[in-house]
Structures are given as structure tokens and as C-alpha cells.
Amino acid sequence: MYTNFFSLSELPFSIAPDPKYLFMSDRHREALTHLTHGLGGSNVSSNGGFVLLTGEVGTGKTTVSRCLMADLPENTQLAFILNPTLSSQELLATICDQLKIRYRKTGATLKTLTDKISEKLLKNHVDDINTLLIIDEAQHLEPQVLEQLRLLTNLETNTNKLLQVILIGQPELQQLLKRRDLRQLAQRITARYHLLPLDKNELALYIKHRLSVADCHRALFNKSAIAAIHQLSQGIPRLINLICHSALMEAYNSNNAVIDKKIVLKAASQALGDDFLPPIWWQHKNMKTALITSMLFVVLITGFWLGQTELSLVANSELPKKAAEQVIPVKVEPQKIQQAALKNEPEEIVTALNSNNKVIVPITETLVKKEPEQKVVSAELNTTVTHEAKVDDNYQIEAVKGVSDDLLARFQMAMDETKDQPVLSQKAEVTNSVASEVQSLTQMPAWVQNGVPSLHVEQHIYASNGQGWVNVNGRDRYQGDMITAELQLTEILPQQIILKYRGEVFSLPALTNW
């Protein structure tokens, strides 16, 4: 082997859970502290219940438990179960074997085994002996077996439990204990800890620690090798041991005194087999940074180009002309216009204007225009001409050559009778008046400002028909909705919302955080 080549007293990267190789990282130290505290510190019997230790495969859970067992007080009787794929009866029988409880092997029932264990626990308590049960790989326990364990821990005195249980397992154990039928057991867990993998700095210290235990005090792995080992193992100690052991073998075979990245990659392919995934070129840190920067640059250039293209299209496009802005040649029959005007029937005036079927233009669309200085259709008797007439906001018809004053007066009367009422503008005026009379929340008394809860208005849709809504604290709210028991959304305005809190009415901007 390579021990003589590297001046090692023994193999430093064995996967056996030897406590002397336990590297007390911050995570492992915290795990051991939680286990000890969950058991009641130096006095194991002072607490009770269940203690939970979880972690990914190979993170060092078993090694931590072995270190804990090595430091147990002398007055502690331990039952340690490595294979928990047992039925309830088999588990109780195994506990009896571990605690050296004599029982009849044939015909033993759950009641018989439970009674035997209870007697042993009471005897240990009288003799001032603490009883501890540790179950490794506890994620394989069936729910009914876990429930049987909980029933065993029901035996207690006024101050402590007579049996304490440490469950060690993979993250699946946490999911198992979330079952509703196991909630009583989950509530009895007095301490729990999830063991995480090592980071890059801890990994370097971990390798140095194991080499020093094997009497090697020089650096066998350079920085590139450390980085490669961390990337391949993800900081899991068991995988670190496999890769380092294989790397030492490879360095020994190639007569290299120092292990670099190239040796680590070759060794990892042998140690991990199908699980070995060499880093792809685009997964390197520098390459990732370059790719992200390039993608961001491309997105910015593309957005700028699309924006310029859209502005150019808008600037060069010809918008369709409105009917009221066009000068339309119309050939009309003056006799029909005069007869319709004398009858005061604007519909017949429209028919008369469109009687030659050459131009179909609603007269209200042509003449009734809210914007000043619009071009309108005018008719000159016996000719096909175009004239421009201006209509102000009051829709007043100006005099046109060839049309009598009486005809224009009747025409104006017909237009006034068919004119739409400005409902929306009236609504806007009322809205603005209401908004101006309501004080903002910042102007309200201190008790109102302190009493109003946190408000996050993220979206705002205003509709004149009262069907608008706002998104307050992640929920859509409409006029009249109660945001809390004392806070009501009374009205939604174009630029703000009106609220009522304990009779006090105030406003907030439409989009705000309070």
C-alpha cells in the first residue's frame, strides 16, 4: 500500500466510523452538543423523550453517535440497533437482547416483551442506572414500530423518562415524522439536528486532520486538488474518504509526492464509478460568469434595438384620419334639406345629405366634435364643393354661404336636442371633488396612523362604473370590501383609494406601501 510511500502510520481515509478520526467541524460539534443536551447534559436522566439526528448519506451521523456513546456516563445501559427493518415484536425482542433481558423465545407476545422491558426499566431506575436506546438508519422504521417505541417511553416518574431514544437517519426520517398518526411522537422530540456537508474550508481542515491522525504532517493535496475534491464530493465526508484514498493510490502508482487536480479527477472516476460526473466546461465558475455577462449584454442590445425599431415604426406610420377631420365632397339636394329642417327632423337631414349614395357619413359624427377647430361638412346649393366650418365646445354652427339664417337656426335646434350629456366628465369632476375633501393618512391623528395595519397596494384598476379593484396585501379588493375587521375600502379613485378606519375616512395613493 501507499502508507510507507507517504510516511503514514495507517490508512487515513477509511470509511469505517472510527471516533478518533472524527473531525469536529462546527456542524459536527453542534450535532454532538444537541444530542448531549437532548439527553440532559451530563445527567442523562434529567430530561427524556426522543432525540433526532438527521443528515444526508455519508455526512458522519454514525461517527457522531459513536463519539457520543464513548462519552456516556458509567451508570448508563445502552441498547444500540443498527438494522431497524423489524416488526414491532422483533424490535422489542432486539431491545431485550441488547439490555440482557431474559424472556421465553417461543410464544413471546407484544405484551410479554413489553412487560419484561418495563420491569427492566424500573429496576434500572431503582439502581440509579440510565437506559438509552440508539437506533441507526431509523428512516426504515415502520410507523407502527415508531408508535410502539412511543408507548415504551410512556413509562416515567414525576421528573424524568425511564427510557430515552435517539433516532439517527436520513432526511426521509423528518418526512416520516410529519405524518399525522405520528404527531404524538414528534411532539416528544426534545432536540433535533440536521447535519450538513462540509464547506470548502472545512474540507481542507478535514483532510489535514485525518492525515495528522495517521502521523502525516505535510500537505499531500494542493489547492486545485482540494477544490476538485469539494466539487466532486459536495462536502460529504464518506465521498471525500473514497476520493482521497483513491487519489493516494493513484499518486503512489504514478510516483507523485503531491496530489493535484488531474490525479483527483482520474481517481474519482475509479472510486465513484457511474456516479462520477466530470465537470463540464460551462460549469466552471469563470465560464459561468462569462456566459451570464454575455447573455445579459445580448438581452440589453436586443431590447435597445427593438425599442428603436418600434419608435421608428410609430414615427413613420400614417394614422387614419378621423371622419370629423376630413373634408368630404358631398352633392346634395337643397329642397330635401329645407323640407327636413322645416319639419325639425334631424334624421331626415342625415338622409337628405346621403341621398345620392356617394357619401355615407353620420352627421352627428361629422358636426358634433368636442375638440375645437374641427373640419365639418357643409353644403352649397346646386354645387359640389367643400367648406370648413369650426365647431366649439358648445357645438355652435357658423353661417355658411347660400344657407338662410332660419335654416341654420333649425339645424342648431336639432343638434342641441340630439346632443349627448357629458356623463363621464361630470363623474370625473365629482371624483376630483371627493378626493380633494378627504385628508391623506399622513394628515390623520396619530392613533389612526398607528392603528392602521400594514398595507401593500400593488395593483390598481380604476373604472368609472365602480367595478375597479385594487390588490391589497396579495388579495383583490373591491369598493365596500373589509380589509380587516376595522378597516374598509370605501372607494377606488383614479389616483388614490379612500378607506375608513373606526369611523375616520382618509386617502392613500393608488400604489403605496404603508
Q: Is the dihedral of CA 428, 429, 430, 433 positive or negative?
A: positive
Q: Which range has the worst mean pLDDT, 36-50, 181-195, 360-374?
A: 360-374
Number of domains in the chain: 5
Q: Which range has the worst mean pLDDT, 49-53, 209-213, 419-423?
A: 419-423
Mean of pLDDT values over 216-240: 91
Are 225 and 294 in a shared domain? no
Q: What is the pLDDT of residue 3?
A: 87
Are 300 and 252 in a shared domain? no
Give pLDDT tens digits for 77-88. 999 998 888 899
- Of 321, 415, 314, 326, nearest to 363 by C-alpha is 415
Q: Phi first, then psi: what are they for 3, rounded to 5°? A: -60, -45
Does residue 422 lie in a domain region?
no
- Residue 243's Cβ-count burial label (10 Å; 0-12, 13-18, 19+) is buried
Does residue 5 lie in a domain region?
no
Mean of pLDDT values over 339-357: 47
* CATH assignment at residue 253: 1.10.8.60
* CATH assignment at residue 153: 3.40.50.300
Say yes or no to pLDDT of 465 above 80.
no
Q: What is the pLDDT of residue 373?
A: 43
Q: How do 469-472 and 164-169 pair as beta strands?
A: unpaired
Q: What is the pLDDT of residue 293?
A: 82
- Residue 221's Cβ-count burial label (10 Å; 0-12, 13-18, 19+) is buried
Does residue 168 lie in a domain region?
yes
Does residue 175 lie in a domain region?
yes
- Residue 435 has a CB neighbour count (10 Å cut-off) of 16
Mean of pLDDT values over 186-203: 89
Are 258 and 386 in a shared domain? no
Are 208 and 243 in a shared domain? yes
Are 103 and 243 in a shared domain? no
Are 400 and 493 in a shared domain? no
Q: What is the pLDDT of residue 427?
A: 47
C-alpha 293: how far from its chain's center?
A: 25
C-alpha cell at 188: 416528544
Does residue 14 lie in a domain region?
no
Concatenating the DSSP letter of every residue in 333-375 gives -HHHHHHHHHTT-HHHHHHHHTTTSS----HHHHH--SSSS--
What is the chain's length? 514
Q: What is the pLDDT of residue 512?
A: 80
Are 81 and 136 in a shared domain? yes
Q: What is the pLDDT of residue 339?
A: 53
Q: What is the pLDDT of residue 74?
A: 87
Say yes or no to pLDDT of 333 above 80.
no
Q: Which domain holds residue 468?
A: 432-513
Q: Tell me the whole-structure pTM to 2 decimals.
A: 0.52
Does residue 287 lie in a domain region?
yes
Say yes or no to pLDDT of 428 above 60.
no
Give pLDDT tens digits for 231-240. 999 899 989 9
Give pLDDT tens digits for 91-121. 999 999 999 999 888 888 899 999 999 999 9
Are 150 and 217 in a shared domain? no
Give pLDDT tens digits for 250-274. 999 999 989 999 999 988 888 777 5
* CATH assignment at residue 495: 2.30.30
Q: Which of the listed residues 388, 417, 446 is the one where a domain comes to its end? A: 417
Say yes or no to pLDDT of 230 above 90.
yes
Q: What is the pLDDT of residue 411?
A: 65
Please state, for a pLDDT cut of 90, what percent of the chain lies above it: 25
Are 134 and 245 in a shared domain? no
Q: Which of the listed residues 417, 442, 471 is the one where a domain comes to its end? A: 417
Say yes or no to pLDDT of 322 above 80.
no
Please state, for a pLDDT cut of 70, what percent of the chain lies above it: 70
Are 204 and 191 in a shared domain? no
Q: Which range has the worst mean pLDDT, 120-129, 366-375, 472-481?
A: 366-375
Give pLDDT tens digits for 36-68. 887 765 454 445 678 999 999 888 888 888 888
Does residue 423 lie in a domain region?
no
- Of 181, 99, 83, 178, nearest to 133 by C-alpha is 99
Does residue 18 lie in a domain region?
no
- Residue 56's Cβ-count burial label (10 Å; 0-12, 13-18, 19+) is middle
Q: What is the pLDDT of residue 41?
A: 55
Q: Are the C-beta atoms of 352 and 332 separated by less than 8 Å?
A: yes
Mean of pLDDT values over 367-379: 41
Are 499 and 394 in a shared domain? no
Q: What is the pLDDT of residue 212?
A: 93
Are 287 and 267 in a shared domain? no
